[in-house]
Amino acid sequence: MSQRDATLTTARKGNPPALSVDHLSKRFGERLAFDDLSFEVGRGEVFGFLGPNGAGKTTAVRTLGTLLAPTSGTASVAGIPLSPENGVEIRRRIAIMPESPGLYLRLSVVENLECFADLYEVPNPVDRIDQALRAVNMSDRAHDPCGTLSKGLRQRVALARALLSDPEVLFLDEPTSGLDPVAARDVHELIDELRKRGVTIFLTTHRLGEAERLCDRVAILNTTLRTIGRPDELRDRLFAKTLKVLTRVPLPEPGSVFAALAGVSGWQQNGPGQDGVGSYLIAVSDPAIAAPAVTQALVAVGADVLSISESRHSLEDVYLELIDEDIEADRR
Amino acid sequence: MSLSTRRIRAIVRKELKDYRRNRTLVVTMTILPLIFLIQPTVVILLYHKESAAALAQGHALLYMLAIPALVPAAVAAAAVVGERQQSTLEPVLTTPITREEFLLGKALAALIPSVAIAYAVYAAFVILVILFAQPGVPAAILRAPDILAQVLLTPLIAAWSIWVGLAISTRSSDVRVAQQISLLGNLPLFAVSSLVAFDVIHATLGLALALAALLLVLDVVGWRIVSAMFDRERLIADTR
């Protein structure tokens, strides 16, 4: 167990989950925004919420943020049951950074933050604003009117605004949307920093690499919850582990080489190899055990081995596999 | 229901800063009262002292009660739908602010400049009349009950105009449409103040006090009705 996992486990033992969602649904008239969501997010966890446009991610965030009332189901946010009566108390403990920064463009950065510090009734607002601005590297632009800032800088101000109240749960809706790679990296570092401070982060994103790098667990939503788990678990659940083998020339009888090996559950030719090389994908239960056996078998038949490597599936592969399944199901 | 004065102040301060930097809004809020100032001033300055007796029969000054009815109407009508169109409403509604606090902040922010402008225009008119009107004219039109009615009714009329504007703003999806409907919604107030000014409705101190009491009740009721109309879900998701 990693130090990170240990911290999370300890946090979960002592406290109720930061978010607990039970069969939650939201319908707008005839249109179903999301349906039957059930999951928990532990305190201090960075939880990724992925899905295509229109999957219900933003509606789910708005529902958990008490802006919209669920049609059915129950939830608790920051340990407080989600209900209209508890709206103010929940909003005191959370912060939401919407996809659109929504800044007052005629006001300066610091004036925007002063307004929100008062709305959250933040104690020592001057210090908090200063800390929030430093956290997003915007101290030098504090007195610039927000209307003069680029999209990326506005996004940073919106993030500073979300940090003002020192929230227990922070909802970030596409926080790196429109940011250049350096600015996106800064946001990632900030999320890492918040994670170390024990802030629970609910991150919706289209950037699958971002989710893979930042999130302890991810959920893939397409109106209903398609899957939930750690990124590596999802890969293992969805895709067989494979070794990719390249030989200088195609093997005359690859079936006789691979089929009989322990730990190998199947193999296939990986298309026509470039420059006449042989290329094979070997499905294995454990690459660390199977790789030496495959190497020995290849050497035994006199094959000229160019490389043997584990073929890794990304979170993007998982995502596309699930969403493609949904598209296929819709077509049928 | 407890209200947070800090949150209400936050909205008021933000709005007033925003007004100051919005040149179009400042011009709009200033031009209309100036038009209302010029016309009666010119008319009254041209009166001879022999006509003063006729002036005493009317209540020309109460014509200016239309200013607090008209000046805040456009601002209030843009208050909610404008934020919605600029995507600034959602971040505010994600804070602990209640709809009552939000609306009270918006109303006060519209009320303060409107009342200040109405009083300033009225004061300018009174000063011009005292300084430049023919002898006898100031005494004929500057009567204590009229002045009291003006002072008392100005904020109450402005507040009513603001609640009408906010009610329309919470239900509109376009700023310009909201502003036009809001002006129409304030026509009854404008009509009543004009009828008083032209002595169709005979103004007395008693009538002014009764109107003030009625407006006070309507303003409080207006706040509660607009609060009930303020539907976060509709404003955020625009689906109802």
Residue among A93, A94, A118, A154 with most chain B CBs within 10 A, to mutate: A118
On average, the pLDDT of chain A sits at: 87
Helix/strand/coil for A314: coil
Per-domain boundaries in chain A:
3-236, 240-312
Q: Which has the higher per-residue pLDDT, A170 or B69? A: A170
Extract the tokens encoding B142: 């500057």
- In CATH terms, A240-312 corresponds, of 3.40.190.10, 3.30.70.260, 3.40.50.2300, 3.30.70.270, to 3.30.70.260
Residues 6+ positions from A133 with CB-CB distance below 8 Å: A109, A110, A113, A139, A142, A160
Residue in B18, B89, B96 nearest the CB of A120: B96
Q: Is it the case that residue A124 has pLDDT exceeding 90?
A: yes
Facing residue for B94 by CB, picked from A31, A96, A103? A96
The pLDDT value recorded for residue B166 is 95
Q: In what order do the strands lie in the sheet with A169-173?
A: A94-97, A169-173, A200-204, A46-50, A217-222, A224-229
Higher pLDDT, A180 or B152: B152
Question: Confidence class of residue B198 from pLDDT cuts 50, 70 and 90?
Answer: confident
- Kindly list the domain boundaries of chain B, sorted by start residue: 5-237
SS3 for A30?
Answer: coil
What integer best gives the mean pLDDT of chain B? 86
What is the tens place of the pLDDT at every residue in B106-143? 999 999 999 999 999 989 988 988 888 888 778 877 87
CA distance B18 to chain A (A): 6
Sign of the alpha-carbon torsion through A68, A84, A227, A327: negative
Q: What is the ipTM of this complex?
A: 0.88
- What does the pLDDT read at residue B182? 86
Per-residue model confidence (pLDDT) at position B132:
86
Residue B62 binned pLDDT confidence (cut-offs 50, 70, 90): low
Fold of A3-236: Rossmann fold (3.40.50)
Q: Is there a common fold for A3-236 and A240-312? A: no
Tell me what pLDDT residue B56 has: 59
Mean predicted confidence (pLDDT) in A76-101: 94
CB-neighbour burial class of residue B92 (10 A; exposed 0-12, middle 13-18, buried 19+): buried
Interface of A with B in 102-161 (CB under 8 A): 102-107, 111, 114-116, 118-121, 158, 161
The one-letter code for the residue type at A148 is T
**Does residue A1 have a pLDDT over 70?**
no
On chain A, the residues whose CB falls within 8 A of the CB of B91 are: 96, 98, 101-102, 116, 158, 161
Please give the pLDDT value at position A8: 46
What is the mean predicted confidence (pLDDT) over B194-213? Answer: 79
Question: A46 forms bridges with which residues in the sheet?
Answer: A201
Yes or no, beta carbons of B94 and A91 under 8 Å apart? yes
Cβ-Cβ contacts under 8 Å, B7 against chain A:
118-119, 121
pLDDT digits (tens, 9 = 90+) for A263-276: 888 888 877 666 77
Within chain A, residue ranges assigned H as helices are 3-14, 57-64, 87-93, 109-119, 125-135, 151-163, 181-196, 208-214, 231-238, 254-258, 287-300, 315-331
> pLDDT by residue (tens digit) across A59-88?
999 999 999 999 999 999 999 999 999 999
Per residue in A260-314, pLDDT (tens digit) is 788 888 888 877 666 778 888 888 888 888 888 888 888 888 888 888 888 777 7
| Residue in A315, A154, A326 with CA at minimum distance from that of residue A239 | A315
- Say which residue the tokens 């500073």 belong to: A160
pLDDT tens-digit map of A10-42 = 444 457 899 999 999 999 988 999 999 999 999
- Residue A91 contacts B where some CB pair is shorter than 8 Å: yes
Q: Which of B93-102, B114-123, B148-157 has the highest mean pLDDT?
A: B93-102
Q: Which two tokens stand for residue A290?
A: 């199977």
Tell me, what's the pLDDT at A237?
A: 67
Higher per-residue confidence, B200 vs B12: B12
Res. A184: pLDDT tops 90: no
Radius of gyration of chain A (CA): 24
Calpha distance A141→B209 (Å, rounded): 53
Is A121–B96 a contact, with Cβ atoms under 8 angstroms apart? yes
> In the prediction, which pLDDT does A207 show?
80
- What is the reported pLDDT for B240? 47
CB of B234 less than 8 A from some CB of A: no
Q: Which residue of B has its CA nearest to A93?
A: B96
Looking at residue A4, its pLDDT comes to 46
Give which of A315, A94, A321, A68 is closest to A205, Cα–Cα: A315
